[in-house]
């Protein structure tokens, strides 16, 4: 009984703490997705292997401000893909080790500046309680990041609004530069089934633990600041046919902060383990920045999500066209695992 009381207290503290950190700015220096729950390994390393199946393949693409003319596609684009799987361990096979790999490519101004990351991810998932309805996991990631600059254009290369090729006096050796740096991340995640209809989850993750130097010049320092992430929410079965998925995520990096909160709702057309079919819809808000509308569908272990960011901040402009995301997840099974066996919870939508 005391265990469940403590979990309820924890959920209240987490929500209050996160809501108290209302940001003064909605900008962030690092990558971020509106469908953050559809990219688990870039959200929290502790989610590695947290899937009710034998493996998971996830992909997501974000296109931002595609209406700004630059002749090279979207102003900002972020494709990401990951693969992870659990390996069950322990006497009763209720614990698991999660292993996975994630790739991210983030480009701006039509590939003028590109960032590419490749990360190996590992986690340990511990079942708590006699029935395994509560789980605590810890995860870590390690890999490399490559920064690459293209042919930048500077003000002194323009004459009468016409671009004049040639070396700029302020180039400072930025053009066609590339640098590879090591990068490390870590995270914690807890989920617990409070009642038959209510599951609570919360997580904390840190990215760029050792704040690597991104500067192209060996004589200068440009630190990549740590990014802190808190995410929490519930899955609440209102009936056999309807589930509510409210949640929020808070991110802090240097002086930049971001808070997303909202809810999706799922309508279960079929709700059996092998033939689950669910339609999703939801509205989220990124504080002082944008409203986010999403729709999605899950059918036969395939999950598809679409979202659009409607900008409300000072960046609002008809030419920007907001931001668009598409996500796709496939959960594979080569062994028979039922929902009544080991359930490795991961936030669905």
Which pLDDT tens digit goes with each residue over 113-163?
788 999 999 999 999 987 778 999 999 999 999 887 655 555 555 555 555
Distance of CA 203 to the CA centre of its chain: 12
Q: Does 342 map to a domain?
A: no
In the predicted model, is pLDDT for residue 6 greater than 60? no
Q: What local confidence, expressed as pLDDT, does residue 163 receive?
A: 52
Q: What local confidence, expressed as pLDDT, does residue 12 receive?
A: 39
Q: What local confidence, expressed as pLDDT, does residue 301 receive?
A: 87
For the chain, the distance separating the N- and C-terminal CA atoms, rounded to the nearest angstrom, is: 30
Q: How far apart are CA 228 and CA 321, in angstroms?
A: 29
Query: Which of 7-21, 217-231, 254-268, 295-309 has the weakest average pLDDT?
Result: 7-21
Q: How far apart are CA 199 and CA 63, in angstroms?
A: 32
Q: How confident is the model at residue 342 (pLDDT cuts 50, 70, 90)?
A: low
Q: How far apart are CA 284 and CA 261, in angstroms?
A: 6
* Domain count along the chain: 1
b/e sequence 156-178, b meaning 16+ C-beta within 10 Å: ebeeeeeeeeeebeeeeebeebe
Query: Quick check: 297 and 278 in contact, CB under 8 A?
Result: yes
CA distance to 91, 191, 220, 271, 318, per residue, from 19 (Å) = 40, 20, 38, 33, 31
pTM for the whole thing?
0.81
Q: 3-class DSSP state for residue 325? A: strand
Q: 3-class DSSP state for residue 62? A: strand
247 bridge partner residues:
233, 262
Q: What local confidence, expressed as pLDDT, does residue 15 receive?
A: 42
Residue 127 belongs to domain with CATH number: 2.40.160.40
Q: How far apart are CA 100 and CA 337, in angstroms?
A: 20
Q: Does 249 map to a domain?
A: yes
Q: Does 176 map to a domain?
A: no
Count the neighbouring beta carbons within 10 Å of the beta carbon of residue 305: 23
- For residue 55, give the nearest of 301, 333, 304 by alpha carbon: 333
264: containing domain: 2-140+187-332
Q: What percent of the chain has pLDDT over 90?
A: 51
Q: Does 343 map to a domain?
A: no
Q: What local confidence, expressed as pLDDT, does residue 227 receive?
A: 96
Q: What is the per-residue DSSP string for 235-267? A: EEESSSSEEEEEEEEEEEETTEEEEEEEEEEEE
Q: Does 168 map to a domain?
A: no
In the predicted model, is pLDDT for residue 43 greater than 90? yes
Mean pLDDT of the chain: 81
Q: What local confidence, expressed as pLDDT, does residue 211 receive?
A: 92
Q: Does 347 map to a domain?
A: no
Q: Does 196 map to a domain?
A: yes
What stretch of H or E contains 5? helix 2-19
Q: Does 326 map to a domain?
A: yes
CA distance to 31, 135, 202, 287, per residue, from 18 (Å) = 20, 22, 11, 13
């Amino acid at each position: 009984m005391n265990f469940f009381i403590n979990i309820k207290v924890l959920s209240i503290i987490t929500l209050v703490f996160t809501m108290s950190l209302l940001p003064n700015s909605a900008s962030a220096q690092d990558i971020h997705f509106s469908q953050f729950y559809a990219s688990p390994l870039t959200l929290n390393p502790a989610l590695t292997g947290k899937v009710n199946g034998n493996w998971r393949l996830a992909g997501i693409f974000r296109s931002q401000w595609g209406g700004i003319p630059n002749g090279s596609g979207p102003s900002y684009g972020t494709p990401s893909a990951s693969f992870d799987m659990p390996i069950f361990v322990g006497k009763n096979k209720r614990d698991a080790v999660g292993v996975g790999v994630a790739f991210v490519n983030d480009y701006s101004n039509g590939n003028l500046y590109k960032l590419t990351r490749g990360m190996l991810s590992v986690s340990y998932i511990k079942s708590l309680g006699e029935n395994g309805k509560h789980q605590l996991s810890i995860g870590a990631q390690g890999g490399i990041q490559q920064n690459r600059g293209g042919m930048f254009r500077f003000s002194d290369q323009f004459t009468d609004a016409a671009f004049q090729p040639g070396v700029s006096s302020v180039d400072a050796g930025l053009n066609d530069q590339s640098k590879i740096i090591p990068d490390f991340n870590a995270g914690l995640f807890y989920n617990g089934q409070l009642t038959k209809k209510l599951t609570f989850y919360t997580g904390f993750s840190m990215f760029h633990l050792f704040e690597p130097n991104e500067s192209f010049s060996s004589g200068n320092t440009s630190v990549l600041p740590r990014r802190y992430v808190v995410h929490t929410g519930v899955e609440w079965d209102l009936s056999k046919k309807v589930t509510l998925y409210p949640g929020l995520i808070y991110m802090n990096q240097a002086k930049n902060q971001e808070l997303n909160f909202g809810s999706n709702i799922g309508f279960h057309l079929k709700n059996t383990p092998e033939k689950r079919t669910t339609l999703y819809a939801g509205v989220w808000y990124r504080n002082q920045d944008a409203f986010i509308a999403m729709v999605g569908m899950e059918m036969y272990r395939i999950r598809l999500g679409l979202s659009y960011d409607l900008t409300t901040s000072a960046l609002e402009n008809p030419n920007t066209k907001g931001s668009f995301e598409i996500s796709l997840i496939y959960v594979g099974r080569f062994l028979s695992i039922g929902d009544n066996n080991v359930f490795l919870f991961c936030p669905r939508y």
